[in-house]
Amino acid sequence: MALAQAGCLSVRRGAFAGSLGEESGASTPWRAVLAVWLLGAALMLAAGWGSFSPARFLDGDDALRLQQVRDLLAGQGWFDLTQYRIAPPDGVPMHWTRIVDVPIAAVILLLRPLIGAAQAEVVAIVLVPLLTLLAAMALTARLAARFFGAKAGAIAALLVLAAVPASFRMMPLRIDHHGWQYVLALVALNGMVSRSARPGGVVAGLALALSLAISLEALPLAVIFAGVCAVRLLRGDDRWLGSYMVSLALGGVALFLATRGAVGLADYCDALSPVHLAVFLWVAGVCGLILPRLRTRPPALGLIVLGIAGLGALAIMGLRAPQCLSADAFGALDPLVKKVWLGSVAEGLPFWRQGLVLGATMVLLPALGLLACWRLWRKARDGQQRELWVDMALLLGGATLIGLLVARASAVACLFAAVPAAWQVLDQIARWSADPLLLRRFARVPLIVALFVPGALVGMGASAFDPPKPAVRRSTQACDFAALAPQIAAMPRTTILSGLDIGPTLLVTSQHTVIATAHHRASAAMRDLILAFLGPDHGARAIMARRGATMVVICPTGSESRVYRKLAPDGFMAHLVKGKVPYWLEPVLVDAKSGVKVWRVRQ
């Protein structure tokens, strides 16, 4: 009898996946997910056909990720994350991780004996991001099908494809870490709606521990999940918070040792470090050892204990790494670099600094999900269902707040929103199908379309009144580096002064070294590069001599060149673009189709 009562109590306290319809509880609709994925993959492949090459990455982080994988396969140590061909003579210790390198390297190693190294790389940089897209669709569809039925699962998969902030970073060539972090956030969300508290908390904690080991960008999301577990503590269930924090801490320690080892014991604010692990272990100890002993006490006492745990965490961070308490993650960055480079990185800016389509999607899709959570809360049959949609709204609301401030983080909010939004779309389709008036059915069609692509419709409506201005293309897109690659690779190895955006592409298409790339740990080298292009010609010559650079490579029509010319109309970059080349440089003939300009220092 006692065991039966305990089992009933467990179901009552842990079953957060209530049903709303007869089909609720359906398994993942794999056929529909695969069909949507194949459709999306086909569209992406068709749109990019002919441009799948290491010379055509859309972002420097993707190019440098491939270079990191190449270094690993060439024998660089697992724990050695230094990029020796950036910021000579010492190189740059990157804040990245080998975790994201593993699937790319695995595909290359598997296919290299069959099709050669070059083609194996092309397959890897196309296939790996598409697999993250499939995983995101499957995890989202699983939740939607479980709550609302198989049809909702198929709609959720379509919403993932339509969620541009997410799908854009899971398309071919997007091999950096963002896609994997989106997938892990969805794994954590699946854990939070588990019918059993302890396994669910463990899944969520381990998923976010892995995400934190990939990039510390996941830290705000991990805090939000802990906050929802604390809400469940106030409802009388301490198992969620304890299992979540213990798995987060122990998983973080294990992953840190596996990926950083003894060489990564310094405390950094931009990567998972010993100080973060100390904070996690402290909070996990309080949640795992003390809170269970307060199970029969009022929930408010548990909240007081959590407050003490929070103060202790701040004390640990303040004593060991006070610089990491700053709200500015780039506080240590050189002021000039922060102004010129960081202020122009679009993916790190808030929604009001984005283009209309992307900005509207960042706002409207999560808003649609929050509206659906509110409607589902009102329609809930019992307290468990109401708690479920409160928790979902808290997780989605927190992710939305982060996403509104940082564009690349908005993808998580859009993916979370796809679950309740799928029900909203399904509800509108049911109303459309049941409406006897043909006119009203026609009027409802635009509404259903708007639920899938709200940002695109906003952009189309705005362009009808104010035609959009031509966008300034990034340097890696404005110039054809694939045309340049054979010539630049054949030149004697040297150090190159080039744009921050161009640097990674030069690394993956040649054996040259570059003064800097857009990676903040090389702050001093980035400052030198920016000063060289903004300052006078003789200043650029002095910086090149100090860094050992003998070549200059620019993309005159790219966005980075435009920034330098705008800030310094009489600077070195402006002179190069205008053809006012200083006497100490001589032109290097390269393929004019590339649009790239190259000079070498005269002997």
Q: Are the C-beta atoms of 149 and 415 separated by less than 8 Å?
A: no
Q: Are the C-beta atoms of 222 and 212 separated by less than 8 Å?
A: yes
Q: Are the C-beta atoms of 141 and 186 separated by less than 8 Å?
A: no
pLDDT of 548 above 50: yes
Tell me if 510 is assigned to some domain: yes
Size of the chain, expressed as the number of residues it contains: 603
Tell me what the mean pLDDT of segment 253-266 comes to. 86
pLDDT of 299 above 80: no
Tell me what the mean pLDDT of segment 263-273 comes to. 82
* Alpha-carbon dihedral angle through residues 241, 244, 245, 251, given to the nearest 10 degrees: 170
pLDDT of 505 above 80: yes
Helices (H), 54-116: 60-73, 101-115
| DSSP-derived secondary structure letter, 217 | G
Tell me if 23 is assigned to some domain: no
Tens digit of pLDDT for each residue in 215-257? 999 999 999 999 999 999 888 888 899 999 999 999 999 999 9
Strands 495-498 and 513-514: parallel
Tell me if 482 is assigned to some domain: yes
* Residue range of the domain that includes 483: 475-601
Q: For residue 496, what pLDDT band results from cuts at 50, 70 and 90? A: very high
Count other Cβ atoms within 10 Å, centred on residue 304. 12
Q: What is the residue type of 465?
A: F
Tell me if 527 is assigned to some domain: yes
Count other Cβ atoms within 10 Å, centred on residue 503. 31
Angle, vertex CA 81, rays to CA 523 and CA 256, nearest 5 = 110
Provide the token pair at 384: 């468990």
| 3-class state of residue 120 by DSSP | helix
Average pLDDT, whole number, for the chain? Answer: 87
Q: For residue 454, what pLDDT band results from cuts at 50, 70 and 90? A: confident
Model pLDDT, residue 90: 87
Model pLDDT, residue 404: 92
Tell me if 87 is assigned to some domain: no
Provide the token pair at 557: 């029509």
Structural domains of the chain, count? 1
Tell me what the mean pLDDT of segment 194-211 comes to. 94
Tell me what the mean pLDDT of segment 108-129 comes to. 96
Q: What is the residue type of 264?
A: G
Instruction: Kindly give, in sequence order, each residue whose CB lies less than 8 Å from that of residue 220, ignoring residues fewer than 6 positions away.
Output: 398, 402, 409
In whole angstroms, give the CA distance from residue 376 to residue 360.
24
In whole angstroms, give the CA distance from residue 333 to residue 56.
29
Tell me how far CA of residue 23 lies from CA of 145, 383, 392, 509, in angstroms.
8, 20, 20, 53
The more confident residue out of 270 and 468 is 270
Model pLDDT, residue 361: 84
Query: Tell me, what CATH number does 588's domain have?
Result: 3.40.50
- Among 2-6, 427-431, 464-468, top mean pLDDT goes to 427-431
Which residues does residue 554 pair with via DSSP β-bridges, in sequence order?
597
Tell me if 452 is assigned to some domain: no
| Kind and range of the H or E run holding 495 | strand 495-498
Model pLDDT, residue 466: 53
Count other Cβ atoms within 10 Å, centred on residue 444. 16
Provide the token pair at 172: 């071919």
Tell me if 492 is assigned to some domain: yes
In whole angstroms, give the CA distance from residue 295 to residue 307.
17
Tell me if 496 is assigned to some domain: yes
Q: What are phi and psi of 511, to 5 degrees?
A: -105, 15
Q: For residue 349, what pLDDT band results from cuts at 50, 70 and 90? A: confident
Of the listed ranges 95-99, 312-316, 378-382, 452-456, the least confidently predicted one is: 452-456
Tell me what the mean pLDDT of segment 316-332 comes to. 80
Q: For residue 27, what pLDDT band results from cuts at 50, 70 and 90? A: confident
Model pLDDT, residue 12: 36
In whole angstroms, give the CA distance from residue 65 to residue 60.
8
Tell me what the mean pLDDT of segment 53-78 comes to. 93
CA atoms within 13 A on the CB side of 437: 4
Backbone dihedral region of 173: left (phi > 0), alpha (psi from -120 to 50 degrees) or beta? left
Model pLDDT, residue 20: 42
Which residues does residue 496 pair with via DSSP β-bridges, in sequence order?
514, 551
Q: Are the C-beta atoms of 504 and 64 separated by less than 8 Å?
A: yes
> 183-219 burial string, b = 16+ CB within 10 Å, else e?
bbbbbbbbbbbbebbbebbbbbbbbbbbbbbbbbbbe
| DSSP-derived secondary structure letter, 491 | S
Q: For residue 2, what pLDDT band results from cuts at 50, 70 and 90? A: very low
- pTM, two decimals, is 0.90
Model pLDDT, residue 235: 86
pLDDT of 17 above 50: no
Strands 92-93 and 82-83: antiparallel
Tell me what the mean pLDDT of segment 496-506 comes to. 94
Provide the token pair at 424: 């909203």
pLDDT of 18 above 60: no
